[in-house]
Amino acid sequence: MQLTLQPAGPADLAAVAHLMNAAYRGRGEDAGWATETAYIAGDRTSEDLLRDDLAATPGAALLLSRPGPDAPLDGCVWLQPLSLDLWYLGSLTVAPTLQNAGFGRALLASAEAWAAARGARTVRITVVNVRTALIAWYTRRGYIATGEIEPFPYGDNRFGTPLRDDLAFVVLEKHLNLPALP
């Protein structure tokens, strides 16, 4: 299933922040399988942080998926060119009610296709090291651990407060199966 992804506008950022906080930090019945509440407390993001990140990162796109123009968001994803053919994919977010239904696979594939249409040949992601189920999910979608580890931003609580002292980011990449560029 190919999804139609649209860039977020300023009016979308409050809804995006709400969706990300529900998906990453939801609790109880509102929690999906991707929640981080066991090791990071507080909100995942805010409207202001999203606005600042977009302003500070020319060329990046926060893409939205929704079933209709006035419908609530189903998901979102951040895509950012790191070079002509290497792109970073982050904040892949699926509404908790759609998790475990194949929507995440469709959102990821659509985001990869969007980046490929703009020159991406490799997509890079980072995942918190203790999220073994999520790392396995990405591995099943063709992502391979590079062996690189990036430090967790301890002391910078913009994205929540870590509850453990052993967090880091595992770097994974996927080489997109594309024909050679002319």
Residue 112's CATH number: 3.40.630.30
CA angle 181, 142, 53 (to 5 degrees): 75
Q: Note if the pTM is more than 0.85.
A: yes
Answer yes or no: is pLDDT of 178 > 70.
Answer: no
For 55-113, how does the pLDDT look when each residue is reduced to its tens digit (9 = 90+)?
999 899 999 999 888 889 999 999 999 999 999 999 999 999 898 889 999 999 999 99
* Any domain includes 84: yes
* Any domain includes 182: no
* Any domain includes 167: yes
Answer yes or no: is pLDDT of 182 > 70.
Answer: no
* Any domain includes 145: yes
Q: Which domain holds residue 130?
A: 6-175
- pLDDT score of 110: 96
- pLDDT score of 179: 55
* Any domain includes 1: no
Model confidence at 158, pLDDT cuts 50, 70, 90, reads: confident
Q: How many domains does the chain have?
A: 1
Angle (deg, nearest 10), helices 13-25 and 47-56: 110
* Any domain includes 159: yes
The upper half-sphere exposure of residue 73, i.e. CA atoms within 13 Å in the direction of its Cβ, equals 29
For 3-52, how does the pLDDT look when each residue is reduced to its tens digit (9 = 90+)?
999 999 999 999 999 999 999 998 776 677 778 999 999 999 999 999 99
Segments of the chain assigned E as strands: 6-7, 40-41, 61-65, 75-81, 86-94, 122-128, 144-151, 161-162, 168-175
φ, ψ (nearest 5 deg) of residue 13:
-65, -35
* Any domain includes 180: no
